[in-house]
Each structure stands twice: as structure tokens, then as C-alpha cells.
């Protein structure tokens, strides 16, 4: 009887866990659809802005600009901005990203340029504290408080968050404290596949746009190209970072939805197996009781 009670208790526990896992899967699915809609809505602006920057830098006036964020220099110190999640339960999403970065750090062992890490997200903060990675690992937080910054916020993601990141890395680059800035995050290839990715951020070198920039024509600049660049290029960087933050959230919710779905299926398999064990044990007990009754009746006959 005690075994039956234990098995029934396990069944109740696993069924409750399955309900929680199913609810988490549905929540992740809703968040995934919501952030995908945000990404889709923000993409035309990002593409148009990139085309405008590409056009500006392709023109003679743009090529003549001596804007600090465009200048390439000898690389002595590199800043790697690492974007991770704040929460777990998303499979190997963060693990693969950290393994990718750790391997890149090991490959740079002995290089003349120094690598500094700018960590965004609790998981990156925790991992690199334990790793004691080379360079100066910093956690980027508004107000310099670790608990204040969250990658996952109410939708749409606040534009100020991307601007905070851009402002800090641009200040470091302008002051000559870093000579190159790269960004690491989990790129979403599909709902089932998220891979670590490295994206160059500074100095600015826009990728070739599908349209090759805006239509070729004679351009008149008002105000001066330098003034336009001073406003346009930080906006462009903020747009890029914001799109990457969005994609990181897409990767997170995709990975968590798949993980919760798999865990829910595993719970169903466990319930089926334990239910079979329960039925077998109960059937054996009933058989023994019937045998005892039959033996007693025969003895009385």
C-alpha cells in the first residue's frame, strides 16, 4: 500500500510540473509572437536608415568626413559587448554563446591587443565572474546597479536601452580607450535553431544594402555633412543595437518554448511509464487478494 501511495504522489507531482511546463510554453509562444511583430514593424525603419548611412558614406562628401566613429586606427584594445538573457530555462542558448566567446578568448591568447568585456544580461554577468576571463569584465547597467538593467522589458523594448549601450561604447571609442567594438549575441536562424554570432559595431562600416543605398542622384546637404553625421550615425548604431536586442529576445523565447515543449513531452512519457507501473502493482495486489479469498473459501468448504 505504501508503494501505491508513493507512486500516486509521484504522479500528482509530475502532472503538476507538466501543467507548469505547458503554461510556460504558452507564455513563451505569446511573447515570441509579440516580439516577432515588433521586429517586423521596426525592420523597414532600420533598413531605410542603413541605406541612408550607406549612401552618405558612398558620396564624396561622406568619404571626406573625419568623424571619430568612422576612423580606423591601430587596434590595441578591443571591446566585446556580450548580450545574454537574464533568465535561464532556455536550453543551451547561453551556454553555446559563452562557449563561442570563451573559444575566441583562448584563440586570442598571446595577441598584442587586449580584450575588454562589456556584459549585458545576468547570465553573462554570472558566467564571466566565475570564469575570471582576461581583460576587464564589466556589467553594463543604468545607474551602475546590477539589478537595474533587464534585457527583457515590456514590449516594445525601450529605445533608451539601445541608446545607453551606444552612448557608452561611443564614448569609449571617441576617447581612444578602445579601438574596436564587436557585439556577441544569439542569432535566431529559425525557431529551432539559434547560433552564436559576432557583429562588428565600431568603427562604423555599414554592410552593403540590398538596394545599394538610396538612388544615385545629386545630393545637397543642409546642414553640413559633418552635422548630419553627428546626428545620423549614433541613430544608426542605436538602430542596429536595438534590432540585435530584439533578435536576442526572439532567440530566447524560441529556445524556451522548444525546451518547455520537450520537457512537457518528457513529463508525459514519465506519467505513462509510472502509470503503467502503478497499474501493474495494483493488479498484482488485487490478484493476491483474490487468491487469499479463494484459499479461504476452499479451506472453509
Residue 75 domain flag: yes
Residue 217, in any domain of the structure: yes
In a domain, 15, yes or no: no
- Give the CATH number, domain containing residue 219: 3.40.1380.10
For residue range 223-250, list pLDDT tens digits in order.
Answer: 777 788 888 888 889 888 988 988 888 9
Q: Answer yes or no: is 276 within a domain.
A: no
Q: Is residue 108 part of a domain?
A: yes
Determine the average pLDDT of the residues in 199-207.
80
Domain assignment present for residue 234? The answer is: yes
Taking alpha carbons only, the member of 183, 216, 246, 221 closest to residue 46 is 246
Q: Is residue 39 part of a domain?
A: yes
Handedness of CA 164, 170, 176, 179 (dihedral sign): positive
> Number of folded domains in the chain?
1
Range of the domain at 187: 26-259
| Residue whose cell numbers read 537595474 | 148
Q: Which residues contact 298 (CB under 8 A, 6 or more apart)?
A: none
Q: What span, in angstroms and rounded, lies between the C-alpha atoms of 238 and 166?
A: 6
Spatial CA neighbour of 136 closest among 171, 93, 105, 175: 105
Examine residue 13 and state whether it is found in any structural domain, yes or no.
no
The model carries a pTM of 0.78
Spatial separation of the C-alpha atoms in residues 51 and 43, rounded to whole Å? 12
- Please confirm whether the linkage preceding 53 is cis (ω < 30° from 0): no
| Gap between the Cα atoms of 76 and 227, Å rounded | 29
pLDDT in tens, 186-199: 988 888 888 899 99
Amino acid at each position: 500500500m505504501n508503494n501505491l501511495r508513493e507512486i500516486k504522489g509521484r504522479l500528482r507531482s509530475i502532472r503538476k510540473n507538466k501543467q507548469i511546463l505547458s503554461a510556460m510554453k504558452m507564455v513563451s509562444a505569446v511573447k515570441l509572437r509579440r516580439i516577432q511583430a515588433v521586429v517586423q514593424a521596426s525592420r523597414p525603419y532600420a533598413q531605410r536608415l542603413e541605406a541612408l548611412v550607406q549612401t552618405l558614406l558612398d558620396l564624396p562628401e561622406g568619404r571626406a568626413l573625419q568623424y571619430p566613429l568612422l576612423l580606423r586606427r591601430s587596434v590595441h584594445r578591443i571591446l566585446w559587448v556580450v548580450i545574454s538573457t537574464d533568465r535561464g530555462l532556455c536550453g543551451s542558448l547561453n551556454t553555446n554563446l559563452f562557449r563561442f566567446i570563451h573559444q575566441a578568448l583562448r584563440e586570442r591568447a598571446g595577441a598584442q591587443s587586449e580584450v575588454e568585456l562589456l556584459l549585458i544580461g545576468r547570465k553573462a554577468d554570472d558566467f564571466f565572474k566565475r570564469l575570471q576571463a582576461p581583460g576587464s569584465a564589466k556589467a553594463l547597467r543604468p545607474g551602475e546597479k546590477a539589478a537595474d538593467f533587464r534585457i527583457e522589458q515590456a514590449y516594445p523594448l525601450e529605445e533608451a536601452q539601445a541608446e545607453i549601450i551606444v552612448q557608452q561604447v561611443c564614448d569609449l571609442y571617441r576617447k581612444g580607450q578602445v579601438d574596436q567594438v564587436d557585439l556577441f549575441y544569439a542569432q535566431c536562424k529559425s525557431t529551432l535553431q539559434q547560433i552564436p554570432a559576432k557583429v562588428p559595431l565600431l568603427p562604423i562600416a555599414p554592410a552593403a544594402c540590398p538596394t545599394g543605398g538610396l538612388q544615385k542622384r545629386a545630393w545637397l546637404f543642409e546642414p553640413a555633412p559633418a552635422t548630419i553625421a553627428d546626428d545620423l550615425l549614433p541613430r544608426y548604431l542605436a538602430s542596429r543595437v536595438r534590432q540585435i536586442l530584439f533578435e536576442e529576445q526572439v532567440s530566447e523565447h524560441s529556445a524556451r518554448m522548444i525546451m518547455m515543449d520537450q520537457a512537457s513531452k518528457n513529463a508525459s512519457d514519465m506519467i505513462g511509464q509510472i502509470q503503467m507501473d502503478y497499474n501493474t502493482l495494483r493488479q498484482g495486489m488485487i490478484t493476491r487478494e483474490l487468491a487469499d479469498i479463494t484459499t479461504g473459501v476452499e479451506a472453509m468448504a
